[in-house]
């Protein structure tokens, strides 16, 4: 039976995501009411710039006083799509204290302070849902938290940032320049308010921390995640990847150690073979592989950024928390979290593609190979290319077998000491084989 008192929703933020949430709440009001068992209404919309033109948004709902809005006694649910740490954190904790449940898309905040936010929600008998914080529209948080709760997840690997995938895809397929591709991603609403978060890997690292925490039932924060962005990736890396039958992607990789005693989480560009399913993930799409003991390998794929896809995830959470409100309960509690140590990047084992600028003379190859051998890093292939400009230098591309990151770093340090090595043009990990 439909309850008649509408559930009141405070929307914090009306930008790329918030404006789509407001639009769908209005256009799909009847469907949402039917799914929840009660009508849902917007109580107010908090923004920073009240005079901005917002098509289809009722002007009387707009306020600049977000704090006053979350304190309102009639507000049942707060949707936080402002982003950033503050004032989002204070607004969310105040919402809990006033009895509201919270839906957020804010990965930066959840990755930094998820444990404290969950504790605050529990203290006040409220829900905290954030499906939209990881991989846009793709259902990932709930499948990991609920559907796979009885299994043992060992690895989560994927593309979790739409902006960087869009940039790499454009650079690879249409030869677009980095800045041009970033501008396009920003115009399409994929990038964060400060796109540094995307291109330097902070956004993907936040998502990796959230995924690792939920998948391995342990506390992982963004500070535990090894992070490299894509600003160092050159057109020459992309061309070299192509020659190897690979493409370059910014990957998030979370792994449980074989003995189960520790975990690792990292975000960095990597070469993956064109035959790997992640290689065909185009534009701002995301895809995540989850490997577990019983289920085996699962792949989640879909739009990873943009107003409408993200609003879909926010509204799914809205329906879930509203149903709980109607039933006067809260959603599944937090997992019993352990505190597995997060191992340093030096212990991660993978393959590497190293591009060296060397003197174009005999004996160089042997010298370089000796350095690799001395550091216990085994070479898989070497390719040497003379340069057409005849400057006496050549490019040497070495692809290694699997080696520890620390061993690779000391190898590179020693290579830099060789007179015949004029420079290390790039180092990239090779994944997915």
Write down the H helix ranges in 101-234.
Answer: 107-123, 141-142, 162-173, 178-187, 196-199, 202-216
State whether the Cα torsion 81-87-93-98 is positive or negative: negative
Q: Which of 71, 152, 170, 207 is catalytic?
A: 207
Of 8, 9, 11, 13, the one binding ligand NDP by CB under 6 A: 13
Map tokens 């006053």 to a residue.
Answer: 68
Residue 136 engages ligand NDP in binding (rule: CB under 6 A): yes
Q: Does 270 bind ligand NDP (CB under 6 A)?
A: no
192 lines the binding site for ligand NDP (CB under 6 A): yes
Is 16 annotated to bind a ligand? Reply is yes
Residues lying near ligand LTNE7NMQ in the complex (CB under 6 A) are found at: 136, 161-163, 190-192, 198, 203, 304-305
Rg (CA), the chain: 24
User: Please, which residue, 12 or 191, has the CB nearer to ligand LTNE7NMQ?
Assistant: 191
Q: Which does 81 bind (CB under 5 to 8 A by kind): ligand NDP, ligand LTNE7NMQ, none?
A: ligand NDP
Residues forming beta bridges with residue 237, ordered by sequence position: none
Structure tokens at 278: 């992640």
Shortest distance, position 306 Cβ to ligand LTNE7NMQ, whole Å: 8
CA distance 21 to 188: 17
Distance, CA of 198 to CA of 230 (rounded, Å): 9
Distances in whole angstroms, Cα of residue 242 to Cα of each of 172, 237, 352, 400: 9, 9, 15, 17
Residue 253: φ, ψ to 5°: -130, 120
Residue 57 CB, nearest approach to ligand NDP (Å): 10
Based on the residue annotation, tell me whether 242 is a catalytic residue of this protein.
no
Residues 46-75 that bind ligand NDP (CB under 6 A): 46-49, 52, 66
Answer for which of 81, 252, 364, 394 binds ligand NDP (CB under 6 A) is 81
Q: 8 vs 107, which CB is nearer to ligand NDP?
A: 107
β pairing state of 246-256 and 101-104: unpaired
Q: Does 305 bind ligand NDP (CB under 6 A)?
A: yes
Residue 192 marked as a ligand binder: yes
Pairing relation of β-strands 421-430 and 263-273? parallel
Which residues sit in the known binding site? 12-19, 107, 192
Q: Which residues sit in the known binding site for NADPH?
A: 107
Would you name the residues annotated as active-site residues? 207
Contact residues: ligand NDP, CB under 6 A:
12-18, 46-49, 52, 66, 81-83, 87, 105-107, 132, 136, 189-190, 192-193, 305-306, 310
């Amino acid at each position: 039976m439909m309850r008649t008192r509408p559930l009141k929703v405070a929307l914090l933020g009306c930008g790329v995501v918030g404006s789509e949430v407001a639009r769908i709440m209005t256009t799909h009001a009847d469907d949402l009411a039917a799914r929840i068992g009660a009508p849902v209404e917007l109580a107010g919309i908090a923004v920073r710039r009240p005079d901005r033109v917002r098509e289809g948004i009722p002007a009387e709902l707009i306020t600049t006083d977000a704090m006053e809005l979350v304190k309102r006694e009639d507000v049942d649910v707060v949707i936080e799509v402002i982003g950033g740490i503050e004032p989002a954190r204070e607004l969310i904790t105040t919402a809990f204290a006033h009895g509201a449940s919270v839906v957020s898309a804010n990965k930066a905040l959840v990755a930094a302070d998820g444990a404290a936010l969950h504790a605050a929600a529990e203290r006040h008998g409220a829900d905290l849902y954030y499906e939209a914080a990881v991989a846009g529209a793709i259902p990932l948080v709930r499948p990991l938290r609920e559907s796979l709760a009885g299994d043992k997840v060992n690895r989560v690997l994927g593309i979790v940032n739409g902006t960087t995938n869009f940039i790499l895809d454009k650079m690879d397929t249409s030869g677009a320049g980095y800045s041009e591709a970033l501008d396009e991603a920003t115009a399409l609403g994929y990038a964060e308010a400060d796109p540094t978060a995307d291109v330097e890997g902070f956004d993907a690292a936040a998502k990796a921390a959230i995924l690792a925490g939920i998948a391995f039932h342990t506390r992982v924060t963004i500070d535990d995640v090894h992070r490299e962005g894509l600003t160092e990736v050159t057109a020459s890396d992309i061309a070299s990847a192509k020659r190897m039958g690979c493409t370059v992607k910014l990957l998030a990789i979370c792994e449980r150690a074989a003995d189960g005693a520790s975990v690792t989480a990292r975000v960095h560009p990597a070469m993956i073979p064109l035959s790997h399913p992640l290689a065909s993930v185009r534009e701002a799409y995301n895809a995540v592989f989850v490997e577990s003991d019983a289920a085996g390998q699962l792949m989640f794929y879909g739009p990873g950024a943009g107003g409408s896809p993200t609003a879909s995830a926010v509204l799914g959470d809205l329906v879930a928390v509203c149903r709980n409100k109607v039933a006067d309960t809260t959603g599944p509690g937090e997992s019993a979290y352990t505190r597995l140590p997060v191992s340093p990047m030096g212990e991660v084992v993978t393959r590497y593609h190293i591009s060296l600028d060397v003197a174009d003379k005999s004996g160089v190859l042997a010298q370089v190979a000796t350095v690799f051998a001395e550091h216990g890093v085994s070479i898989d292939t070497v390719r040497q290319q003379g340069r057409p400009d005849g400057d006496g230098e050549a490019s040497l591309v070495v692809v290694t077998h699997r080696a520890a990151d620390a061993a690779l770093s000391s190898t590179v340090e020693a290579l830099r000491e060789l007179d015949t090595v004029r420079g290390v043009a790039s180092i990239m990990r090779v994944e997915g084989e």
